[in-house]
Amino acid sequence: MPLIPNHLICLDALDEALREAAAQSRPLGICLLWLDSVYRIDALFGYRAGDTVCAQSLTHLKSILKEADQVFRVGRSEIACLLPTLSNETQAVLAAHKIIRTLGSQLTLDQYSVHSEPYVGVALFPAHGQGADTLLQRASSALREARIRKEPVFIYSNEADTATQLQLQLQTDLRHALDENVLTLNHQPQTDLRTGRVVGVEALSRWHSPLRGAVSPAIFIPAAEAAGLMHRLTVRVLNMALRELQELQPAAQDLSISINLSAHDLIQAELPALLTQALSTWGVPPEQVVMEITETAIMDDQRARATTLERLKEIGVQLAIDDFGTGYSSLARLKYLPVDELKIDVSFIRHMLHDIRDENIVRSIIDLAHHLKLRVVAEGVEDDATLQRLIDMGCDVAQGYFLSPPLPLEQCRSWLIKSGLDYR
């Protein structure tokens, strides 16, 4: 039983087993197992200890699987089990659950029990493919899905595989878009409801791909996070936003700019330094910048996030909680967070004239914000009646299609001039 990664030997054995299964018209199952404990033990106690746990797993597997089944260590933490004697496909799934039960509870290292949460991806011949390469790839795709969904066993699914490939293609295209610097910003004006004056703009990223057309940030922001591109995107947006604010704003004006941050940005220790640098490069006073963080990201109880927020605050920028009302705010935490603004989520504003519950939620958020001495912004204002109701309720600032959609720089400049902002 080899302990070195030997996927080639595994593929040869699979080839052979597939020939026999095809000749006898029998199904064949592949369970690809990922041992989280090996990965952790490698890091904590070294590779020899990781190998010990893996060898033990192989022994356990041999003892619970059938004589004709074969096991191969195909990666540092991955084991492939070939199950050639199935009478039906359900048996492969039962075997996968048996593997999880056994390896989840029986591993030890120096007499200590090793906590393990293994995952198994299952692919079946002939249902999911004919050749050894294809089947192992499908088992691997199923395993990836199992780990993403946090389900111990996942059976290969064509849709999941296609979705994964589409997502990877999107991430590749986005990487090129960042390399080629083709992302742009739109700016959506924000109006003070007491004076009727425009007081700020929100910078919103736009990606027009030659192949895909306009891709919504709701699609490409999560893709950037998944591909590890968020940091690059944020640094780009930060610099673009501050430069464009200077282009929008004559010296006499004190228009603010709101910039969105993702949850991922808050765990980047260098973010405050990058912000300081960008403010000095573009000559923007920190108090004119509002960093928006969604409620879900801000409430995540991670020390790193709270520290980043405090450091951003020390720089002198303002902080806003975006999409307020859609996450799970703890009022106890809200009291201590160094924020200046709550942005009421569009989902409450949209129906507030027709649904008394939404109206009450909006009223309560405005009261809450004012009692905490925070500014409150309504986003997604689409008609005059909603705007008037928000004015009656004492809301401070509004943003939405009724006032203006997000606009490219030049159009936003013209809009500001027309709107009567003292703009020269």
Q: How far apart are CA 270 and CA 285, in angstroms?
A: 20
Q: Which is nearer to Mg ion, 116 or 234 (CB)?
A: 234
Nearest-approach distance from CB 349 to ligand C2E, in angstroms = 8
Q: Which is nearer to ligand C2E, 346 or 421 (CB)?
A: 346
Q: Within 10 A of 301 (CB to CB), how many other CB atoms are there?
A: 8
Site string for ligand C2E, 16-55 (x = CB under 6 A): ----------------------------------------
Q: Which of residues 294-353 bind ligand C2E (CB under 6 A)?
A: 322-323, 346
Q: Which is nearer to Mg ion, 35 or 291 (CB)?
A: 291
322 binds Mg ion (CB under 5 A): yes
341 binds Mg ion (CB under 5 A): no
Q: Which is nearer to Mg ion, 84 or 200 (CB)?
A: 200
Q: Tell me the two tokens of residue 363.
A: 């009223």
Sole residue written with tokens 């790839």: 137
Sign of CA dihedral 144, 147, 148, 150: positive
Q: Which is nearer to ligand C2E, 324 or 423 (CB)?
A: 324
Q: What share of the chain is helix, strand, coil (3-state, %, to 5)?
A: 50, 20, 30
Rule CB under 6 A: choose which of 120, 160, 229, 237 binds ligand C2E. Answer: 237
DSSP designation for 46? -
406 binds ligand C2E (CB under 6 A): yes
CA nearest to 353, candidates 398, 385, 396, 391: 385
Three-state secondary-structure class, residue 339: coil
Rule CB under 6 A: choose which of 218, 252, 331, 332 binds ligand C2E. Answer: 218
Sole residue written with tokens 């939620």: 361
Rule CB under 6 A: choose which of 379, 386, 389, 395 binds ligand C2E. Answer: 379
Q: Which of residues 245-304 bind ligand C2E (CB under 6 A)?
A: 260-262, 292
Stretch of 16-24, 144-152, 160-168, 380-388 contacting ligand C2E, by CB under 6 A: 380-388
Tell me the backbone φ, ψ of residue 28, rounded to 5 degrees. Answer: -140, 140
Q: Which is nearer to ligand C2E, 358 or 379 (CB)?
A: 379
What's the burial of 271, exposed, middle or buried (CB within 10 Å: 0-12/13-18/19+)? buried
401 binds ligand C2E (CB under 6 A): yes
Q: What residue 406 binds from Mg ion, ligand C2E, none (CB within 5 to 8 A, per partner kind)?
A: ligand C2E
Sole residue written with tokens 């409450």: 348
Nearest-approach distance from CB 263 to ligand C2E, in angstroms = 9
**Cis peptide bond N-terminal to 5, omega within 30:** no
Strand-pairing partners, residue 191, are: 198, 398
Nearest-approach distance from CB 124 to ligand C2E, in angstroms = 40
| Angle (CA) 396 398 403, round 5° | 145
Q: Within 10 A of 353 (CB to CB), how many other CB atoms are there?
A: 14
42 binds Mg ion (CB under 5 A): no
Rule CB under 6 A: choose which of 75, 126, 152, 217 binds ligand C2E. Answer: 217
Q: Which of residues 356-395 bind Mg ion (CB under 5 A)?
A: none
Three-state secondary-structure class, residue 370: helix
Q: How far apart are CA 205 and CA 229, in angstroms?
A: 14
Q: Which is nearer to ligand C2E, 322 or 358 (CB)?
A: 322
Q: How far apart are CA 113 and CA 76, in angstroms?
A: 20
205 binds Mg ion (CB under 5 A): no
Nearest-approach distance from CB 415 to Mg ion, in angstroms = 19
Q: How far apart are CA 306 and CA 327, in angstroms?
A: 17
The one-letter amino acid at 317: V
Residues lying near ligand C2E in the complex (CB under 6 A) are found at: 188, 204-205, 216-218, 221, 237, 260-262, 292, 322-323, 346, 379-382, 400-401, 406
Residues lying near Mg ion in the complex (CB under 5 A) are found at: 260, 292, 322-323
